[in-house]
Structure 1
Amino acid sequence: MKFFAFLLVLSFSLNAKTLDKILAIVDDNMITLSEIQRVQDNLNARKTISPILYSKNQYTQQELTELHVQKFMIRANLTESGYVVSDDEVELKIKDTEKNLGVNREHLLKFLSSNNLTFDEYFEIIRETLEFNIFHIKVIHPLISITEQEIKNYFYRENASSKSLTFRYTLVDFFLPAKSVNKEMLTSFSNVMTKFNKDGILPHNFKNIDSKAIEDITDEGLEANLKKLLKNTDEGSFSSPILMDHHYHVFYVKNKNLVESEEFLKSKDLIRAKLFQTHSDNMISLWFKRVQNKHYIKYFL
């Protein structure tokens, strides 16, 4: 029986191919060349209507085919979860759009015609947009978490050259008298301390090293050279050696937090939105890779 069904599908596919090439099959849905060419023909209008679906300036035929495959995967997931975007919901959304833009159906149809879109195509674009929004809210959004430290790190990277950035540190200062440090010791100082942090073992020529904890200090009152050194040292790392008061110092940066300046506070929401978009794009890509094995997907590109 399965073999017979396969022959039917194959026969149908071969007959259809003479009329319209099949580019992909997703479960029981076929994506044809004419569909993809039609999207290419009115892509600019689609980008205007739904930038969330069509976010790139240009798409290859393969990319548009993959977008269609993903559309069916999203729809299948929503259906399994009991979410079906009905024709009535789509019509309501279209009427809301007309009201917000101050246009009637006649004006909408003229706009669509002038942009090489039929009303049926517009109707399905709105449906797919609603489906994507539900998918994003119900499936993707709960998987994303943006921490305050991520926001601060982003702000720091974008403003690394700014002199207005202020940090608050928790440090451990390791130091040796300058007269006891030769060139070889100076070169290896940071690496020796990194190894010591892992195994607790110091070479013999570093046995006389002293240390002290420095809690909750900002860089506002620090010397320029030390301020620059700490600014360029990541949290959880050792700094390069620096000579101060006849001693060579290497600082372990236990904590490094950006002091929330007015500039930072103004930027937080925008940074959070950018990070969320980046995480969202990555999570969507991972989701499609993870669930594609649940579907029958075949490309004929």
Structure 2
Amino acid sequence: MKILFASLLLILSYFAQAKILDKIMAVVDDQTISLLDVSRIKETLRARNEISPQIFHKTSLTEKEIMDILIYKKLIREKLNTLGYVIADDQVESQIKATEERLGLNREALLNFLKTNGLEFEEYFEVTRESIEYNIFLSRVIAPMISVTEQEIKNEFYKMNASNSTLGHRFDLVDFYINKGILKANEISQLPGALKGLQKGDSLKGNFGKFEASNINNINEDGLAKEIKGQLEKLKVGDFSAPIVMGNKIHVFFVKHKELVDSEKFLKQKEILRQKIYAESEKQMTDMWFQRESLKHFIKYF
């Protein structure tokens, strides 16, 4: 009798433990999410993060975050099904082979990697399928809702570079220059006037006749020396700069053309900023989509 009673207690204890292990954590429509499901993902989260960082975006997730991921994957799959996208096994296998080729792995090496990280091949297969689905979801459902404007990019640039403008000037210049030792001190101050006379058809006389000239076309202000840039910013088309001593030469610049253009610094950062804004918008739109879509389904957490 004692043996029978002990056996009964053991059986009840086993079922009680099994019940705890298989506890339902959430329900989405007719699908349940168990503690075992959540625990298994938690155990293999680092490997899943390496395989699919878009879905498993952190190497440490709470049980609630894991349940959200499982629910969202179901919502995504249902949405894609309504759009006519069903990811078949052969498509998943093709993706796995492409990954092996890209990483220089054979199937044995891949299996060893999975084994080392505690992940079964069947699990890897499904994570790959889910990654394909997620990328299609982003491109077909989320991307059409995102538009990054030029003004948004400039606003982001202003935030990151408070002292810089997105706009600069582009110039066409004539550089008049002469060796510094040729001119007397009083002649240097007369330079702009003499050059204006040249513009009217007068000839340069005396030491002024020893000036040389070269055209500098299509140059952005970022490409100019600081002392030149400071002067040219204030000048209009048709103006001459004051004499500028650089090295052993004296320069006077004539402004042939001047226009506003995107600054070099802005142009260098523009695409990076566009991608940053797009990524932020993508996350925001994805979160909003899940919130709206969740209202169409029966979802309950326990």
TM-score (norm: length of structure 2): 0.62
Q: Distance in 1 between matches of 2:290 and 2:150?
A: 28
Give per-residue Cα distances to partners, 1:251-270, cap 9 Å, x unaligned: xxxxxxx9511111111111
Match of 1:37 among 16, 36, 39: 39
Q: Distance in 1 between matches of 2:51 and 2:58?
A: 13
Identify the residue that residue 299 of structure 2 maps to in structure 1. Answer: 297
Q: Distance in 2 between matches of 1:54 and 1:93?
A: 18
Deviation at 1:101? 1.2
| Amino acid paired to 1:292 | S
Deviation at 1:95? 0.8
- Worse overlay, 111-120 or 56-65: 56-65
Match of 1:154 among 135, 153, 156: 156
Identify the residue that residue 103 of structure 1 maps to in structure 2. Answer: 105
Q: Distance in 2 between matches of 1:290 and 1:150?
A: 26
Deviation at 1:59? 0.9
Deviation at 1:166? 4.5
Q: Distance in 2 between matches of 1:150 and 1:38?
A: 42
Deviation at 1:26? 1.3
RMSD between aligned residues? 2.4
Answer whether contact 2:76 2:134 (CA < 8 A) is retained.
yes
Are 1:143 and 2:145 counterparts?
A: yes
| Count of residues paired in the alignment | 201
Answer whether contact 2:157 2:166 (CA < 8 A) is retained.
no
Identify the residue that residue 134 of structure 1 maps to in structure 2. Answer: 136
Answer whether contact 2:28 2:71 (CA < 8 A) is retained.
yes
Identify the residue that residue 120 of structure 1 maps to in structure 2. Answer: 122
SS at match of 2:262: coil
Answer whether contact 2:21 2:36 (CA < 8 A) is retained.
no
Structure with the greater alpha carbon radius of gyration: 2
Q: Distance in 1 between matches of 2:284 and 2:29?
A: 25
| Amino acid paired to 2:36 | S
| Amino acid paired to 1:142 | P
Q: How does 1:1-301 map to 2 (within 5 A)?
A: 17=19, 20-162=22-164, 166=167, 220-221=233-234, 260-300=262-302
Misfit runs of 4+, over 3 Å: 16-19, 164-168
Q: Distance in 1 between matches of 2:234 and 2:72?
A: 55
Deviation at 1:272? 0.5
Q: Distance in 2 between matches of 1:19 and 1:165?
A: 59
Deviation at 1:88? 1.0
Q: Distance in 2 between matches of 1:58 and 1:260?
A: 42
| Amino acid paired to 1:283 | M
Q: Distance in 1 between matches of 2:82 and 2:166?
A: 50
Identify the residue that residue 203 of structure 1 maps to in structure 2. Answer: none
Q: Distance in 2 between matches of 1:141 and 1:17?
A: 43
Q: Distance in 2 between matches of 1:141 and 1:114?
A: 36
Deviation at 1:87? 0.9
SS at match of 1:295: coil
Q: Distance in 2 between matches of 1:63 and 1:221?
A: 58
Q: Distance in 2 between matches of 1:149 and 1:259?
A: 15
Deviation at 1:58? 2.1
SS at match of 2:95: helix
Q: Distance in 2 between matches of 1:151 and 1:157?
A: 10
Q: Distance in 1 between matches of 2:289 and 2:19?
A: 31
Deviation at 1:281? 0.4
Deviation at 1:167? 7.0
SS at match of 1:150: helix
SS at match of 2:85: coil
Deviation at 1:165? 5.7
